[in-house]
Amino acid sequence: MISPHLRRLTFTTVALLPLLTGGKCVPYDASLSASAVSTGHDCEQPGVARMVVENFAYRIQCGCVETSGKTCTVSPGTTVIWQFADSTSHNVTAVANTFGGSTNQLAGQHEHLFEEAGAFSYGCSIHSYDMSGYQVVVADP
Ligand SMILES: [Cu+2]
């Protein structure tokens, strides 16, 4: 016979399993490397796309049509969130100031609500050699 304690432990594990594995999106988790984070999924919140800034690159996490690369396509009304997670400070700076930008950040996040259709180029003004040519494309689905 299974002890009540063991039964409760088993129940707890089974009950938590869907929470651990069933979500459509993988929210940002600093304990995971970029390669371990799934991409190309809807984010946990509607109307959001997430990028992680690490290894001198902006990587798509969720909410973009694309699963990788320098272009993130979203529909109007999407808030793009950049999570800073590198060992050095970076920023998000819009080319031609089309949507402004962030301060230089080592941690934390920067977000911008994209309401108008268009292509919005951005990069890191500190490391333009490595971190340029990125864009958010806002297009009707
Ligand atoms: Cu940078």
CA of 87 to the centre of ligand 1 (A): 10
Domain 24-138 bears CATH identifier 2.60.40.420 = yes
CA of 73 to the centre of ligand 1 (A): 22
Task: Give me the residue spans of the domains in the chain.
Answer: 24-138
Mean pLDDT of 39-51: 84
CA of 131 to the centre of ligand 1 (A): 6
Q: Which residues pair with 81 in a beta bridge?
A: 50, 111
User: Residue 111: what pLDDT?
Assistant: 97
**Percent of the chain whose predicted confidence (pLDDT) is above 70:** 72
pTM of the model: 0.72
CA of 91 to the centre of ligand 1 (A): 6
Q: Across the chain, what does the average pLDDT equal?
A: 81
CA of 71 to the centre of ligand 1 (A): 17
Q: What is the CA radius of gyration of the chain?
A: 18
Q: Characterize the bridge pairing of strands 71-74 and 134-138.
A: parallel
CA of 130 to the centre of ligand 1 (A): 8
Which is nearest to 135 in space by CA: 83, 77, 74, 85?
74
CA of 66 to the centre of ligand 1 (A): 22
User: Residue 5: what pLDDT?
Assistant: 54
Mean pLDDT of 8-26: 40
CA of 89 to the centre of ligand 1 (A): 6
